[in-house]
Amino acid sequence: MYKDIATPKRTQEILKKYGFSIKKSLGQNFLIDPNILQNIVSHANLTKESAVIEIGPGIGALTEHLARKAGQVVAVEIDQRLLPVLEDTLSPYDNIEIIHSDILKTNVEDVIQEKLAGYKDIMVVANLPYYVTTPILIKLLMEKLPIRGMVVMMQKEVADRITASPSTKAYGSLSIAIQYYMKAEIAMTVPRTVFIPQPNVDSAVIKLTRHETSPVDVLDEDFLFKVSRSSFAQRRKTILNNLQSQLPLGKEKKEVILAALAEANVDPTRRGETLSIQEFGNLANILLPNFK
């Protein structure tokens, strides 16, 4: 086996060799602990029949661990300066392809069709750039890609919000937006000391797994997210008051919302944070015809 990229010593050597200056604006915090990397990869349950899409390979620390377990890895990196570095560090592996692109502007469905044809088991695995964690996740989920799930590292506070259950402080519209698409759980927490440079927050790895059956049949996903965002607009307000002040539902607004809440079996004095995804989904379906 080749020597790991992600030891503190080798990482420093690589950065020095290329005179690479880390760009904080691109969320560049490189992992320097091979045990943590192995642990992350183990949560993805990869075999040689699996393919992986990685976002932000950096200098290849996670990428090489993925390549050892999976059949094929495609990694999307925005920073052109990393391309020659990756070509060097990942040269021992013949099952990695690097795409120089912004993941937010990449048609991932095309990538899967063009680069991963033949793979039925596809996972997204990444140590995400923290400044764009949420937009990346939402984009990938809304595209309804043919993936089994994701194992992704992010700032712990965001991981807590994504995986939160109703009636907890962290539960909110982000929990609903993600959990509507996939089951979400925290796989492990990661201290800030295993990165170069050290971020000023702790991190967590979350595991997202495609639902076997959708938690609720929703007529209009955008409207579900609008209703949930509106319900959390002011956390201390009741769901009735929040919906009334946030949603354009015509003149008879209050009556429409009260009737919909009654039909959905939701007490109007409850707060948004107590509603499950199923309750939000039913409520959105009932309110939809009145939405102008």
**206 binds ligand SAM, rule: CB under 6 A:** no
Nearer to ligand SAM, 77 or 279 (CB): 77
| Cβ nearer to ligand SAM, comparing 102 with 143 | 102
Question: CB-wise, 80 or 213, nearer to ligand SAM?
Answer: 80
The rounded distance, in Å, linking the Cα atoms of 174 and 162 is 6
CB 148 within 8 A of CB 181: no
Q: End-to-end distance of the chain based on CA atoms, in angstroms?
A: 61
As a dihedral over the C-alpha atoms of residue 91, residue 95, residue 96, residue 97, rounded to 10 degrees, the angle is 110
Q: How many other CB atoms are found less than 10 A from the CB of residue 173?
A: 19
In the bound state, the residue with its beta carbon closest to ligand SAM is: 56
Secondary structure of residue 120 in the 3-state scheme:
coil
Q: Are 228 and 245 in contact (CB under 8 A)?
A: no
Tell me which stretch binds ligand SAM (CB under 6 A): 65-73, 101-109, 138-146, 179-187: 101-109
Residue 183 C-beta-side C-alpha neighbours within 13 Å? 8
For residue 13, the one-letter residue type is E
Residue type, 148: R
Q: How many residues bind ligand SAM (CB under 6 A)?
A: 22
User: Closest CB to ligand SAM among 187 and 283?
Assistant: 187
Between 58 and 272, CB nearer to ligand SAM: 58
Within 68-97, the residues that bind ligand SAM by CB under 6 A are 76-79
What is the smallest separation between the CB atom of 255 and ligand SAM, expressed in angstroms? 46
Site for ligand SAM in 8-67 (CB under 6 A): 26-31, 55-58, 61-62
The least CB distance from residue 177 to ligand SAM, in Å, is: 19
Distance CA 84, CA 167 (A): 49
Binding site for ligand SAM (CB under 6 A): 26-31, 55-58, 61-62, 76-79, 102-104, 127, 129, 132
